[in-house]
A and B are shown apart, each in its own frame.
Chain A
Amino acid sequence: MSALLVEVRDLWKTFGEGEAETQVLKGLDLSLGVGEMSALLGPSGSGKSTLLTILGTLMQPTSGRYTMLGEDLMRASEQDLTAFRNRHIGFVFQFHNLLPDFTALENVIFPTAVREGRETPAARARGRALLVRMGLENRIDFPSTNLSGGQKQRVAVARALMNSPELVLADEPTGNLDRASADQVMALIDEINREEGTTFLISTHDDKIAGRCRRQILVGDGQVTG
């Protein structure tokens, strides 16, 4: 087994209070090794998205331990988590993925530009290279709203990779796409994973997508069941 990237122990997440209280995660344990490519599976409402947002430091768990790259993320301040996210975690969402008033390239380089305070030529060069790699060489300066669904998701993958993060979290990244587009996006993710050793955790309902991942993590009743 490869080196440990993410370690989650006894993770609890409860929404609401009293009557409306919902326990979504109930003492979940999970480890992700460096370079792993895993599918996150489970019935609707099982807490896949909840787990991904907690791993992405966008939401605090109710209790538990979460370390990534050896850092205790339960103790980090909001500012530290924002900076950590920027450097070490990439996201691909199902909807609302790109900034609509910006071009494909501008979207891709956002994570670097926001950290450096401006769009540097180096960032632009890397953004271009990533878009070329995603097969979007003739869509680089397209307004993001003019892209097709599959193209948008490929731009989103490029953006997730922009800061060379150790971990990319994707929540049903192909949920909106047709078969061909979904396969294309997955092929690219697969390629990046093999070539660069980026760790991916991809939630999906699609068995074919899950089949492309080397590990399947099944969530049920608030815990990892397989």
Chain B
Amino acid sequence: MLYAFKIAARYLTASKAQTSLLIFGVAVGVFIFIFMSALIGGLAEFILSRTAGDLSHVTIEAEAIEPPLLLEETSGVVLLAREKDTSRQARLTNTDAFLPVIGQLPGVTAVSQQITGGGVLRRGAQTMQVSVIGVEPENVSAIINLKRYLVEGTVALGSGKILVGKKLAEELGFRLGQTLRLQADTGIDQSLVVSGIYETGSGGPDRRQAFVSLTTARTLFAMPQGISRIEIKLTNLYDADGTAARIEAATGLPAKSWTEDAAQLLDALKAQAQTGLMLKSFALVTIIIGVASALLLSTYRRRPEIGIMRAMGAPRGFVVLVFVMQGALIGLFGGLLGAGSGYAVLLAFPSREEFQPGNLPIDIAQGAYGVAILLTVISATLASILPARAASRVDPVTAIGQ
């Protein structure tokens, strides 16, 4: 083993130009592999953070109350319009016992109870329809990271406080610390002080939403008990389907994964990942073909030597080992070089925090360096098996050519 390694290393160092070229070729393949991993991974993360990042990953929501049909069974065609009942709030009751259970499920990072409803914000003569979200003060940033998006004030939500988006503040023309009137759909009316202004960058939260404390929401929406929904955040948003199923099984509550409403997005991401996978496979195939052809050539060039080694009593397996080790070494050095230069090049791209639109959303952390090196070593080793077997079958008599 050790001796085969010595000979393999000697063969590689004996033809330095050829070996360097080969390692460089492998490194280019590895570089493409890593670049694609970082780009596809970064792109997916970027798209997800822009779309699903501020979403609840699993939502438990009471089923809407359907008003009963007053129409008796009739014959003939009847056109029936059923208006959505907005007067009564659908609510979840008796969820308190389940909250710790949900919180302890693997992958769950935050559980937020909320009371939601519609309302009209009024400042002087100006009004604006908003959706009001009542959250526990300690969970303000659990689902949408309001703390990160805050531009003014604080996210602390005491009673009588309200957090609003920047667009809404601009449209209604108010500033931090001013008092607004909020009239809920229930007709209940309350004065609230603007304690913080945030900007998420997307229209919904910035223009159409406002956050109050859960206690304030109870008053506004006349819900002394129960809650409207529970929003759950996960470490890995791809686990949402499984976690939703687990929550349903454990609690019997209707849990919905974010993916149910994002089929198109997920399809697009899947297609993108597959494109990346294909390009990465091509890179690996290139490595395999490159290594195999180079080693096959070397096998041919070294036929007399292989013949001598066999005549001196080197077993076939020894010859196989010498060539397989050359493949593995080329893979290792090509992999390291490719991964190293890949990392160096990716460093030049802005990180996700500094990301500006128009740049490639490359995520250096998703370069899959270890995988790339491992796959390259495996590919190059596999690629060397054919030449190695050919080498081991060299007939010493014809090779020595006496």
Contacts and interface: CB of A to CB of B under 8 A. Distances in A.
Interface stretch (B187-195, B307-315, B339-347): B307-315
A49 B3 contact: no
Interface in A45-73: 49, 52-53, 56, 58-59
Interface residues of B, number: 26
Contacts of B402: 49, 52-53, 93-95, 171-172
A101 B14 contact: yes
A169 B34 CA distance: 55
Contact of A85 (B10, B313, B401): B313
B11 A101 contact: yes
B1 interface: yes
A107 to B, nearest CB: 9
B307 A96 contact: yes
Interface string B313-343: 1111010000000000000000000000000
Contacts of A119: 3, 6
B268 interface: no
Interface in B1-58: 1-3, 6, 10-11, 14
B400 interface: yes
A101 B304 CA distance: 13
B305 interface: yes
Given A93-B400, A113-B3, A119-B6, A58 B312 contact: no
A97 interface: yes
B311 A99 contact: no
A83 B313 CA distance: 6
Contacts of A171: 402
Contacts of A115: 313
Contact of B3 (A96, A101, A118, A163): A118
A110 B11 CA distance: 15
Interface string A80-116: 0011011100010111111111100000001101111
Nearest to B396: A58
Contacts of B310: 58, 82
B314 A100 contact: no
Contacts of B312: 85-86, 91, 110-111, 114, 159
A96 B309 contact: no
Residue among B6, B308, B399 facing the most chain A CB atoms (10 A cut-off): B308
Contacts of B249: none
Contacts of B10: 101-102
Contact of B2 (A97, A101, A117): A117
A209 B318 CA distance: 36
B401 A96 contact: yes
Interface string B384-402: 0000000000001101111
Contact of B315 (A82, A98, A101): A82
A79 B312 CA distance: 13
Contact of A59 (B6, B309, B397, B399): B397
A86 B315 CA distance: 9
A157 B316 CA distance: 24
B3 to A, nearest CB: 5
B165 to A, nearest CB: 72
B311 A56 contact: yes
A93 B312 CA distance: 12
B397 A100 contact: no
Given A59-B397, A95-B402, A114 B318 contact: yes
Nearest to A91: B311
11 contacts: A82-B316, A85-B313, A86-B314, A96-B400, A97-B308, A98-B308, A99-B305, A110-B309, A114-B318, A118-B3, A172-B402
Interface of B: 1-3, 6, 10-11, 14, 304-305, 307-316, 318, 396-397, 399-402
Given A114-B309, A119-B6, A172-B402, 12 more contacts: A53-B397, A59-B397, A83-B313, A91-B312, A93-B308, A96-B308, A96-B400, A101-B10, A101-B11, A110-B314, A114-B313, A117-B1
The 4 closest A-B pairs by CB, nearest first: A86-B313, A101-B14, A96-B304, A118-B2
